[in-house]
């Protein structure tokens, strides 16, 4: 293996039980160097439009990125992609941890899974040796049990296990994947796709070392050491190390942007039960890292007084099971989080779906006869924990909620749809668009449905004296813009940051690594790519990689019938919040439509329809995609 | 005066701990207090004095005041 040369991917057909190795063309790989870019290319070219996401015909791609496994903090990520059973759109979910680097060390960039096995199986990869193994004995067990069982079976305690849980086996539409029990491809129902194929896990062990395969290992190694030191010298990475993401609860409450009681409110009267100081005092036991990352932002906790093998809740989970459900009990949040991870549910969608059901219950659209006797009212912590269990098992009322808010609302009827806080079928993360307008744009336009990791959030570029703004200048940022604006400058921010974020997803860098969100200067990101590969590329080349990724996902969705009308937000957001600093302030409907047109234009898409234009696609070296769009 | 720093602003405080006590013999501009503590104005996204939001560039604080400053809050 040499980084960027003779890159190999595995192709697994579960129907046939066959495994093949494909070597990618070097010039192709420079355009689509792993992660989101490679997965997007494969899905767009190999998955026929309108394929049932839970049928054997769906294609599941698990792809590390160009930098995944490099000895550089935050270069740990891999992507899982397929047509999403939650949105019927382009599906994608990233995670860090250890599995992506291990796949690279085993000599493979990606795994493409087609077909479906008649019986449960798992895939074992040990360097060049790859085999499918029976998994009947693993089916129906918790993720912790399965990880232990596979390690015992393979007689290797260090094998890295990526797996679904019983939620994926039951094809819950927001089931995810986990590696090492603490790192999650939560979003978009990729676990349900894997479950539909009866593939329970992928166990990987490799002995290659990224640094030894790099073009300039000395430069890469020196950069890695410099960045490890910088983690403690930059406020953003230092803060992530000290408190992780759960620290966001109180500042967001103070800003009036803490999603509360199904996004009706922006401030939570029970926030003291969830804030970092409470978390730290009552459940926190220490922190852990992803592969070679000096930040160590992952939290370890005890649940029910015992150390949990699943890691602690991130902010998104605290928000989803806490304030969004009106729950102020950090112990209940930690328990719900543990169950999600044992069964492998996306904690954002799970919490948001329970919050939706609570509002339906309180407004009389459903009652105890529908909910198996559970009083689904805001603030009922016990009900939240009960519902997580029922959703994962599709038990009783949980079977309806396992479909996600959009489908559940359609089945409940009446005006339940107004309580479904989703975009394209995916539940909104715990960031309030009425306080960050480009987050609203992210939720609306993202190809995967509501997503909070498309662009750095608005305030990062609101002050030209800030560290984050200064670091974004090499990316092409030209002006500081107000948080509560959708002006042309903000759309330029979005256009730049979306390409940068998409590049991160292609290359394997974490959202918490590169500036402007965090501490790695873009020039150092560029240095890392060139030291790894010897390519001599520029920042514009990196942004182009990102832009290819977003365009392929957009074209995928166009082929599935998505239109401009799908780039929108729940109606609730166009009304005011009930409380908090932003009380009464709506997301601006008219400005939004104008901004959407302006953003389409910046992206080289048709201003009215949002269809990617041939000229931009050809300038990105992907005229083939324009042909594909025309053919349909 | 007692100053609470939120978000990543704690990073700039002495000992990286919040809150801090600041002794003021007479009212002073908040910008001056923050500069003396080493908190860059460019990193302050929201400021409040005694629970009421203020313009960080215009606020004047006294020895009895409770001050909150918060950085930009990103996602993750």
Please, are residues A432 and A574 in contact by the beta-carbon 8 Å criterion? no
DSSP symbols for B7-48: GGGGGGSGGG-S-EE---SS-EEHHHHHHHHT--GGGEEEEE
Across the interface, of A250, A314, A431, the residue whose CB is closest to B6 is A250
Judged by a CB distance cut-off of 8 A, whether residue B74 touches chain A is yes
pLDDT-derived band at A232 (thresholds 50, 70, 90) equals very high
pLDDT-derived band at B74 (thresholds 50, 70, 90) equals confident
Arithmetic mean of pLDDT, A512-529: 97
Pick left, alpha or beta for residue A173 (phi over 0 → left; psi -120 to 50 → alpha; otherwise beta): alpha
B75: pLDDT strictly greater than 80: no
Judged by a CB distance cut-off of 8 A, whether residue B18 touches chain A is no
Minimum distance, in Å, between the CA of residue A433 and any CA atom of chain B:
12
A435: pLDDT strictly greater than 70: yes
Please, are residues B14 and B20 in contact by the beta-carbon 8 Å criterion? yes
B76: pLDDT strictly greater than 70: no
B73: pLDDT strictly greater than 90: no
Alpha carbon dihedral A449, A450, A454, A455, in 10-degree steps, equals: 150
Q: Taking CB atoms and an 8 Å limit, are A469 and B42 in contact across chains? A: yes
Distance (Å, rounded) from C-alpha A379 to C-alpha A496?
A: 40
In a mutational test of the A interface, the residue from B7, B9, B15, B72 whose CB has the highest number of chain A CBs within 10 Å is: B72
Name beta bridge partners: B67: B3, B49
Which of chain B's residues have a Cβ under 8 Å away from the Cβ of A248? 73, 75-76
The DSSP element (H or E) to which A19 belongs, if any, is: strand A18-23
Across the interface, of B11, B40, B76, the residue whose CB is closest to A315 is B76
Q: What is the DSSP-derived secondary structure letter of residue A585?
A: P
Question: What is residue A217's predicted lDDT score, i.e. its pLDDT?
Answer: 97
Which of chain A's residues have a Cβ under 8 Å away from the Cβ of B53? 581
Angle at A156 between CA A150 and CA A157, to 5 degrees: 85
Q: Which position has the token pair 């290992």?
A: A217
Q: Taking CB atoms and an 8 Å limit, are B11 and A239 in contact across chains? A: yes
Across the interface, of A239, A254, A511, the residue whose CB is closest to B8 is A239
pLDDT-derived band at A112 (thresholds 50, 70, 90) equals very high
Name beta bridge partners: A9: A22, A110
Name beta bridge partners: A90: A83
Distance (Å, rounded) from C-alpha A575 to C-alpha A585?
A: 7
Distance (Å, rounded) from C-alpha A551 to C-alpha A582?
A: 34
Alpha carbon dihedral A238, A243, A248, A249, in 10-degree steps, equals: -160
Query: Chain A, 254-283: which have a CB under 8 Å from a chain B CB?
Result: 254-255, 257
| Least confident stretch, A69-78, A486-495, A600-609, B37-46 | B37-46
Q: What is the average pLDDT value for chain A, to the nearest integer?
A: 97
Please, are residues A96 and A77 in contact by the beta-carbon 8 Å criterion? yes
A281: pLDDT strictly greater than 80: yes
Please, are residues A480 and A461 in contact by the beta-carbon 8 Å criterion? yes
The share of chain A scoring above pLDDT 90, in percent, equals 98
A412: pLDDT strictly greater than 80: yes
- A82 burial via Cβ count (<10 Å: 0-12, 13-18, 19+): buried
Which of chain B's residues have a Cβ under 8 Å away from the Cβ of A235? 8-9, 11-12, 43, 71
A632: pLDDT strictly greater than 70: no
For residue A513, the chain B residue with the least C-alpha distance is B76
Neighbours of B50 (CB within 10 A): 12
Residues 6+ apart with CB under 8 A from A287: A241, A244, A296, A297, A298, A299, A300
Question: What is residue A1's predicted lDDT score, i.e. its pLDDT?
Answer: 65
Q: Taking CB atoms and an 8 Å limit, are B7 and A251 in contact across chains? A: yes
pLDDT tens for each residue of A451-490: 999 999 999 999 999 999 999 999 999 999 999 999 999 9
The pTM for the full model equals: 0.97
Question: What is residue A2's predicted lDDT score, i.e. its pLDDT?
Answer: 84
Distance (Å, rounded) from C-alpha A625 to C-alpha A618?
A: 9
In a mutational test of the A interface, the residue from B31, B48, B67, B74 whose CB has the highest number of chain A CBs within 10 Å is: B74
pLDDT-derived band at A444 (thresholds 50, 70, 90) equals very high
The yes/no answer to whether this complex scores an ipTM above 0.90 is: yes
pLDDT tens for each residue of A117-127: 999 999 999 99
The share of chain A scoring above pLDDT 70, in percent, equals 100
Phi–psi pair at A312, nearest 5 degrees:
-95, 165
Q: Taking CB atoms and an 8 Å limit, are B7 and A314 in contact across chains? A: no
A629: pLDDT strictly greater than 90: no
Question: What is residue B51's predicted lDDT score, i.e. its pLDDT?
Answer: 87
Judged by a CB distance cut-off of 8 A, whether residue B7 touches chain A is yes
pLDDT tens for each residue of A139-162: 999 999 999 999 999 999 999 999
Arithmetic mean of pLDDT, A13-24: 98
Arithmetic mean of pLDDT, A380-409: 98
* C-alpha radius of gyration, chain A, whole number: 22
């Amino acid at each position: 293996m040499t980084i960027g040369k003779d890159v190999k991917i595995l192709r697994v057909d579960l129907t046939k039980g066959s495994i093949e190795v494909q070597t990618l063309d070097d010039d192709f790989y420079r355009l689509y160097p792993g992660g989101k870019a490679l997965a997007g290319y494969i899905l767009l070219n190999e998955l026929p439009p309108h394929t049932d996401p839970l049928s054997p015909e769906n294609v599941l791609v698990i792809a590390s990125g160009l930098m995944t496994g490099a000895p550089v903090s935050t270069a740990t990520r891999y992507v899982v992609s397929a047509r999403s059973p939650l949105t019927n759109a382009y599906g994608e979910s990233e995670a860090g941890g250890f599995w992506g680097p291990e796949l690279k060390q085993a000599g493979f960039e990606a795994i493409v899974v087609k077909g479906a096995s008649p019986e449960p199986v798992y895939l074992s990869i040990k360097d060049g040796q790859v085999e499918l193994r029976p998994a009947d004995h693993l089916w129906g067990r918790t993720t912790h049990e399965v990880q232990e069982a596979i390690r015992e079976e393979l007689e290797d305690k260090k094998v890295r296990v990526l797996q679904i849980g019983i939620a994926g086996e039951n094809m819950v539409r927001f089931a995810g994947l986990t590696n090492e029990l603490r790192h999650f491809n939560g979003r978009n129902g990729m676990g349900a796709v894997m479950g539909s194929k009866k593939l329970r896990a992928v166990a990987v062990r490799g002995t290659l070392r990224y640094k030894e395969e790099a073009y300039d290992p000395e430069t890469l190694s020196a950069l890695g050491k410099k960045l490890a030191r910088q983690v403690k010298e930059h406020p953003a990475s230092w803060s992530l190390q000290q408190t992780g993401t759960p620290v966001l609860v109180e500042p967001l409450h103070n800003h009036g942007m803490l999603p509360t009681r199904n996004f009706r409110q922006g401030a939570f009267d029970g926030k003291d039960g969830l804030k970092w100081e409470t978390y730290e005092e009552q459940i926190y036991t220490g922190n852990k890292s992803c592969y070679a990352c000096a930040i160590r932002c992952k939290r370890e906790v005890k649940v029910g007084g015992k150390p949990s093998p699943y890691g602690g809740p991130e902010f998104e989970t605290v928000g989803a099971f806490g304030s969004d459900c009106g729950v102020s009990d950090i112990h209940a949040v930690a328990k719900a989080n543990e169950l999600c991870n044992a069964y492998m549910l996306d904690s954002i969608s799970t919490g948001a779906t329970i919050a939706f059901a609570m509002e339906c219950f309180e407004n009389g659209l459903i009652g105890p006869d529908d909910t198996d006797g559970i009083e689904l009212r805001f603030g009922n912590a016990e009900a939240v924990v009960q519902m997580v269990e029922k959703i994962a098992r599709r038990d009783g009322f949980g079977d309806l909620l396992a479909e996600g808010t959009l489908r559940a609302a359609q089945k409940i009827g009446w005006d339940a749809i107004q309580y479904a806080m989703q975009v394209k079928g995916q539940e909104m993360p715990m960031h309030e668009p009425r306080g960050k307008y480009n987050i609203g744009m992210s939720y609306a336009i993202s190809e995967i449905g509501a997503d909070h990791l498309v662009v750095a959030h608005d305030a990062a570029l609101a002050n030209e004296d800030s560290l984050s703004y200064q670091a974004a200048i090499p990316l092409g940022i030209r002006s500081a813009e107000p948080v509560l604006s959708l002006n042309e400058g903000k759309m330029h921010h979005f256009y730049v940051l979306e390409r940068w974020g998409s590049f991160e997803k292609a290359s394997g860098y974490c959202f918490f690594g590169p500036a402007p969100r965090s501490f790695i200067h873009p020039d150092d990101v560029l240095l890392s790519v060139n030291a790894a590969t010897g390519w001599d590329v520029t920042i514009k080349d990196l942004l182009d990689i990102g832009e290819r990724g977003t365009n392929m996902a957009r074209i995928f969705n166009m082929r599935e019938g998505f239109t401009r009308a799908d780039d929108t937000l729940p109606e609730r957001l166009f009304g005011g919040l009930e409380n908090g600093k932003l009380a009464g302030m709506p997301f601006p409907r008219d400005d939004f439509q104008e901004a959407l047109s302006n953003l389409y234009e910046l992206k080289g898409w048709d201003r009215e329809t949002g269809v990617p234009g041939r000229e931009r696609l050809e300038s990105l070296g992907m005229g083939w995609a324009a042909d594909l769009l025309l053919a349909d | 005066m007692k100053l609470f720093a939120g978000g990543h602003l704690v990073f700039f405080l002495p000992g990286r701990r919040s809150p801090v006590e600041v002794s003021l013999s007479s009212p002073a501009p908040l910008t001056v207090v923050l500069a003396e503590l080493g908190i860059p104005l460019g990193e302050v996204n929201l400021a409040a004095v005694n629970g009421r939001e203020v313009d960080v560039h215009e606020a004047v604080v006294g020895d009895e005041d409770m001050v909150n400053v918060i950085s930009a809050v990103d996602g993750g």
